[in-house]
Amino acid sequence: MPKPYPAEFRRDVVAVARQGGSIAAIAKDFGITESCLRNWLKKADVEDGVRPGFTSAEAAEVRELKRRNRQLEQEVEILRRAAAYFAKDISPK
């Protein structure tokens, strides 16, 4: 997998592309592919609120909430099993 470009470089390329001109020419000037530049432009539009979608901050929050939810579900399952074990252990004989 290629090493990602620095964020500052991506911001500069997007700024140049937004000023106008051919996507192909700008991509070639900066040594990146057209699809890479198009993806950066789409992501920048989402971040700026021009295009609908999750911003990187929102996506990070969703990932963290999903991770926390999985953890809590595992804890609940452990407590459920413990309760069943102890309930069986103290039942009258």
Query: pLDDT tens for residues 52-83?
Result: 988 989 999 999 999 999 999 999 999 999 99
pLDDT band for position 1 (cuts 50, 70, 90): low
User: Are residues 48 and 91 located together in one domain of the fold?
Assistant: no
Give the pair of three-digit tokens for residue 93. 């004989």
User: Are residues 35 and 71 located together in one domain of the fold?
Assistant: no
Distance of CA 82 to the CA centre of its chain: 36
- At 87 the pLDDT is 85
pTM: 0.67
- At 60 the pLDDT is 95
User: Are residues 65 and 93 located together in one domain of the fold?
Assistant: yes
User: Are residues 60 and 49 located together in one domain of the fold?
Assistant: no
User: Are residues 4 and 43 located together in one domain of the fold?
Assistant: yes
In this structure, what CATH number is given to the domain that contains residue 20? 1.10.10.10
Query: pLDDT tens for residues 27-56?
Result: 999 999 999 999 999 999 999 988 998 898
SS3 per residue for 18-49: HCCCCHHHHHHHHCCCHHHHHHHHHHHHHHCC
- At 89 the pLDDT is 67
Q: How many domains does the chain have?
A: 2
The whole domain housing 72 covers 56-93
User: Are residues 9 and 49 located together in one domain of the fold?
Assistant: yes
User: Are residues 9 and 37 located together in one domain of the fold?
Assistant: yes
